[in-house]
Amino acid sequence: MLSAHLAKPDVANYILFNHYQEACRNNVIKLLLRGTLLYNARRDVTKVFKYIIELEHVIQPGGALWRILQDNDTTALAAQRLHCVTKTITLLSKVLASVTIFQTEHRLFNGEFYFKRKDYRKSLVQFSAVLSGFLKKKGQQNPDLLINGSLITEHEKSDE
């Protein structure tokens, strides 16, 4: 039951049960260890989903961030609006880093990370590119979000 919540059932059943046909001491120990790893993964993924829920609340359509992004002129952003956009980029970075760490620590889940029927990592990077382009249009400092969740500013890019 636990495996069905965390992985595709056919993959989980093959890995957990069909692979160990014989009921022997070694197979039982391996299954118990895999069960422990699944419980640990479940605990860790709840932390990731807490960050995702926080981010989804911030970027929801009709929210404050979307009203800021509707501003089409090229004048610089007010401090409060700039803080909102940069805080969102930082939160995007935190979510992407936590997803990357989760997938690194739990090798069973090292493929795409789907949330709302889309590869969430790609959608985070795409949304970050939108925010980055918005800041560039406004003439503000423009951090880029790497696929691992790291933020790079213009200053750090020129040093490389």
Residue 21 vs residue 61, higher pLDDT = 61
The predicted model gives 16-36 an average pLDDT of: 79
- pTM recorded for the entire structure: 0.71
Q: Provide the 8-state DSSP code for 148.
A: T
% helix, strand, coil for the chain, step of 5: 70, 5, 25
> What is the rounded distance in angstroms from the CA atom of residue 114 to the CA atom of residue 13?
20
Count of domains forming the chain: 1
Q: State the pLDDT confidence band at 155, using cuts at 50, 70 and 90.
A: very low
**Domain, as residue range, for 113:** 2-159
The whole-number pLDDT of residue 65 equals 87
Q: State the pLDDT confidence band at 54, using cuts at 50, 70 and 90.
A: very high
The predicted model gives 17-46 an average pLDDT of: 82
* Cβ-based neighbours of 155, under 8 Å, separated by 6 or more: none
Q: State the pLDDT confidence band at 148, using cuts at 50, 70 and 90.
A: low
Residue 15 vs residue 138, higher pLDDT = 138
**Which segment of 18-22, 28-32, 84-88, 131-135 scores lowest on mean pLDDT?**
18-22
Quick: pLDDT tens for 77-91. Answer: 888 888 888 888 889
Question: With the C-alpha atoms ordered 64, 66, 67, 68, is the resulting torsion angle positive or negative?
Answer: positive
